[in-house]
Structure 1
Amino acid sequence: MTATVKYDEIEVGHEIPAADYGVRRLNLVMYAGASGDFNQIHWNERFAKAVGLPDVIAHGMYTMAQGGRFVTDWVGDPGAVVDFGVRFSSMVVVPDDDEGATITVSGVVEEKLGDRRVVVALTAKAGDARVLSKARAVVQLA
C-alpha cells in the first residue's frame, strides 16, 4: 500500500480487511535458507509424517511474519511497527500440491494509546484453524 494511515482517521473498532497469503513448499525452503532453520518437518514429508505430523508444516516464525506483513501492508510503512507479538496456537499444514496452504489474516484496532500509536489485534487462520493467538501489534501512525 502506498497510502499512509492517519491516527486521527482511525477509531477503536476499525476493521482491517482480511488478506490471504499463499504458502507453498517452495516458500518454506526459501524461508529455511533465509532463517537458517532447516528442520526437516518444514520440507520433508516423509520425515514430518514419521514424527507424527499430518504433513510438512510451515515454520512458526514464517506464519508470524505473515501477520507482520499484513500490518505493514495496511499502514504502508514497515518501520511503523513498534511492537509485535503472538502465540502459536496451531500448525499451518502445507500439502505438496499446486494449492499449498493459505494463511488468512485480518485485524481490528483494539486501542488507541496516544502518541499516534494504536494496538491492532490480529486473527490468523489456515482453513478453520486459528494459527496465531494473542497476536497484537503496536503501530505508530502518521
Structure 2
Amino acid sequence: MVEATFDVAEQVGHHYRVDDYYEVGREKIREYARAVQDFHPAHWSEDAAGELGYAGLVAPTTFISIAAMLANRKLFENVISGYNVFVQTDQVFEMHKPVVAGDRLVSDVELASVRRIAGKDLLTVKNTFTDQTGRVGQVMYTTVVGITGEDVDAGINDAIERVVMHGIDVPSRSATAAAVADGRIATYPASAMGSRQFTIAPTRISRSGIRFEDVTVGDELPTRITQLTRGDLVNYAGVAGDVNPIHWHDDIAALAGLPDVIAHGMLTMGLGAGFVTEWLGDPGALVRYAVRLSNYTIVEASCAGSVEFTGRIKSIDPETRAAVIVIVAKSAGRKIFGLATADIRLA
C-alpha cells in the first residue's frame, strides 16, 4: 500500500456553500421511489401525502443523496483529490423535516473529520441542506475510506473511460476497490455512526399508523424480501446519477476485484429505509437513519439478487414517544449492513 503524499487532516473544516439550489421535482420523487422499490402512497399521490399533512409528494428517506452527490463533487475533485479510490463505509441521515416536492435545497458541504485507521484515512463529509425558507431540512454524513496506490488495478481508468456515457466524468477514485471484495471495509470504525447528538423536535408530529403504546422492546417488524436485477441497477444508476460501472459492467467489476456486478450501497440503504417506513405508515416518522456497510449484494446477469430485511425494536423513549429500530439486511447469507438503526417517532 502506497500512503498518501498529502496531509488531508489539514483540510478538516474545509467548507463551502453550493452556488445553486437543488429543486425537488414531483416526477423525480416518483422515479427515485420506483428505483428503491418504495411504493408508499405519499411518494406517489398528492392526495395521500395531503392526508398525512404534507404539502406535496414526500421524498423517500435517501433521496437527498442525489443532491449530495452533486454538491460534493467539488470537494472530492479539488480538495481531497489525492486518493485513487473512495470506499463508502457509513451513512447517516438526520431528517429535521421531510423533503417534499417543490423544495429548493441549498447544501453546505464540510469535511467534518479525518481519522487514520490501519494505514488508511477515514473521511467524513457533512452535508447540511436548507430549504427556501432558510430552515434546515436534512443533515447527511458520509464516511469513506480514502485508498491510494496498489489496491487499484492500473487498467481500471482506461476501462471506465471506454464504457461510461459521453459527457459524464467518472474519476477512478469513485470506484470500489478490492478492499470491498474481501470484506475489509467491515473492520473500519466510522466517525459519524456513533454520534447521536441529533434529537427529535418536540413539535414534530407523527402520523404513523403505529401507536407508541402498542410497541415494546423486542417487537419484530414483518420481514421484507426484495429482488434486484441488472435492470434495477441500471435504472437506479440513471435516476440517482451514480454511474459507476461496477454496478452494471462485468469487466469493470472484475478489475475492481469484485466477484460480479454488485448493487449500489445507497440502493440497499434506500430499500432498507422503505422497509421501515412501509411499516410506520408515515415516511416523515423516520427521523434518523444510520447504516454501516459491511458487504454487498451480488447481482448476476442470469438471475436476480435478493436482500432480506428484518428489524426489531431496540429501545423506546416514553418522553418523546420515540423508538430505535435495529435493521438487519442479508443477501446470499451475508450481512450487508454491519450496523443499521432507524430512529422513529410514533403516534
Asked if 1:75 corresponds to 2:296, the answer is no
The residue aligned with 2:308 is 104
The residue aligned with 1:65 is 270
Which residue, out of 238, 256, 259, partners 1:51?
A: 256
Asked if 1:137 corresponds to 2:342, the answer is yes
Q: Secondary structure at the match of 1:107?
A: strand
Gap regions ≥5 residues in structure 1: none
Distance 1:82 1:41 in 2: 31
Higher strand share goes to which structure?
Answer: 1
Offset from partner CA, 1:56-98 (integer Å, 9 cap, x none): 000000011111011001111111100000100001110012x
Q: Secondary structure at the match of 2:326?
A: strand
The residue aligned with 1:23 is 228
Q: Secondary structure at the match of 1:16?
A: coil
Distance 1:15 1:52 in 2: 37
The residue aligned with 1:11 is 216
Higher relative contact order (CA 8 A, sep 6+): 1
Aligned-residue RMSD, C-alpha: 1.5
Gap regions ≥5 residues in structure 2: 1-39, 42-207
The residue aligned with 1:42 is 247
Distance 2:223 2:245 in 1: 31
Q: CA deviation at 1:104?
A: 0.2
Distance 2:228 2:234 in 1: 11
Distance 2:338 2:272 in 1: 11
Q: Secondary structure at the match of 1:55?
A: coil
- Aligned residue pairs: how many? 141
Structure 1 consecutive aligned stretches of length 4 or more whose deviation exceeds 2 Å: none
Which one has a bigger Cα radius of gyration? 2
Q: CA deviation at 1:139?
A: 0.7
Distance 2:256 2:324 in 1: 38
Q: CA deviation at 1:16?
A: 0.9
Q: Secondary structure at the match of 1:17?
A: coil
Q: CA deviation at 1:51?
A: 2.2
Q: Secondary structure at the match of 2:336?
A: strand
Distance 1:23 1:77 in 2: 25
**Which amino acid is 1:106 matched to?**
T
Distance 2:327 2:279 in 1: 12
Q: CA deviation at 1:17?
A: 2.1
The residue aligned with 1:93 is 298
Distance 1:27 1:117 in 2: 34
